[in-house]
């Protein structure tokens, strides 16, 4: 499985921080997602539930740390997560792809970032046939402290078959992949250089409204002003991450197998959805934090 092409990265996975992991897992199941059972990061101690797509995954995340783990590195990695749920739930930290974090660490440092040590994100998983295995995924953080929640990190997956398990990409709402991530910022010009360096390319579009970068797989990442976000997503967004932290991820777009299937599912379940311009959207109020837009 390829993760980087000609030095250009793509969207990898998305930390969706919530306050109650079990309750949110049940809620996302109600929204039509196949949510995997709770798994614990063996080396870190935190717990998650994942929603698997073709080449990405959504990580419902709780930052509770195992008391038996004592690590200064862990404090550096996790401490920024504790401020977020005081004001927000939803998309908190976005990962980009890497072929090999060991090779990427000096590259990232040469770009002017201060990467932390590579972190082992191993967790126990169960395949559809009932056999178990451990993932071998790793992450490398590089928090920045202005626009903390517009920080990104990079991850590699030496055993991708244990992460992107296609047997579990069977969502009742028809979702197949996350192909667009949307941020809001109080100063997109400040963020442009950061995003460009990490993606490995300049924006494809930019203006007073913000900018858009296309990953090598064709996925899009937008960084918008509030005015532009309100224009594109009227009535859908919770702006707490902007109001409290200066910016952060506010929405994600998902490609659906069949928009009619998506529409029917939400109607059958009595889920409030907004349909406009050939898409179906769930507001931040419905999704516990970040809007979701379904498109064909």
Q: Where are the domains of the chain?
A: 11-168, 175-295
Asked if the domains 11-168 and 175-295 are classified in one and the same CATH topology, the answer is yes
CB 100 within 8 A of CB 56: no
* Cα gap 43→93, rounded to integer Å: 19
User: Strand pairing of 220-224 and 175-185?
Assistant: parallel
Domain with residues 11-168, CATH architecture: Roll (3.10)
In the prediction, which pLDDT does 71 show? 56
* Cα gap 78→72, rounded to integer Å: 10
* Cα gap 31→282, rounded to integer Å: 9
Ranges of residues in the chain with a pLDDT under 50 are 70
Query: Whole-model pTM?
Result: 0.96
In the prediction, which pLDDT does 148 show? 94
Token digits of residue 29: 């199941």
CB atoms within 10 A of CB 236: 23
Integer Rg of the chain from CA: 18
In the prediction, which pLDDT does 70 show? 46
In the prediction, which pLDDT does 72 show? 59
Domain with residues 175-295, CATH architecture: Roll (3.10)
In the prediction, which pLDDT does 188 show? 98
In the prediction, which pLDDT does 101 show? 97
SS (H, E, C) the chain: CCCCECCECCEEEEEEECCCHHHHHHHHHHCCCCECCCEEECCCCCEEEEEECCCCEEEEEECCCCCCCCCHHHHHHHHHHHHHHHHCCEEEEEEEECCCHHHHHHHHHHCCCCCCCCEECCEEEECCCCCEEECCCEEECCCCCCCHHHCEEEEECCCHHHCCCHHHCCCCCCEEEEEEEEEEECCHHHHHHHHHHHHCCCCCEEECCEEEEECCCCCEEEEECHHHHHHHCCCCCCCHHHHHHCEEEEEEEEEECCHHHHHHHHHHHCCCCEEECCEEEECHHHHCCCEEEEEC
């Amino acid at each position: 499985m390829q993760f980087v092409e000609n030095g250009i990265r793509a969207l990898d996975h998305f930390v969706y921080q919530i306050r109650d992991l079990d309750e949110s897992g049940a809620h996302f199941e109600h929204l039509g997602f196949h949510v995997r059972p709770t798994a614990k990061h063996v080396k870190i101690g935190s717990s998650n539930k994942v929603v698997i797509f073709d080449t990405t995954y959504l990580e419902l995340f709780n930052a509770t740390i195992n008391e038996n783990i004592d690590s200064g590195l862990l404090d550096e990695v996790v401490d920024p997560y504790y401020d977020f749920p005081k004001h927000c739930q939803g998309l908190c930290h976005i990962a980009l792809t890497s072929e090999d974090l060991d090779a990427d660490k000096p590259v990232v440092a040469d770009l002017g970032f201060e990467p932390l040590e590579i972190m082992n994100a191993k967790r126990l998983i169960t395949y559809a046939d009932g056999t178990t295995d451990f993932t071998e995924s790793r992450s490398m953080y590089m928090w920045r402290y202005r626009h903390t929640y517009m920080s990104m990190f990079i991850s590699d997956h030496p055993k991708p078959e244990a992460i992107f398990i296609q047997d579990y990409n069977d969502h009742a709402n028809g979702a197949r992949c996350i192909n667009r991530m949307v941020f809001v910022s109080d100063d997109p010009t400040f963020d442009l250089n950061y995003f460009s360096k990490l993606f490995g390319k300049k924006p494809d579009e930019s203006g007073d409204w913000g900018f858009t970068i296309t990953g090598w797989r064709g996925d899009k990442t937008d960084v918008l002003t509030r005015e532009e976000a309100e224009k594109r997503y009227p009535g859908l967004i919770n702006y707490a991450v902007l109001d409290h932290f200066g910016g952060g991820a506010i929405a994600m777009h998902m490609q659906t197998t069949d928009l009619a299937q998506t529409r029917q599912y939400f109607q059958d379940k009595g889920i409030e959805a907004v349909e406009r311009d050939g898409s179906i959207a769930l507001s931040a109020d419905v999704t516990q934090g970040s809007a979701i837009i379904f498109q064909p």
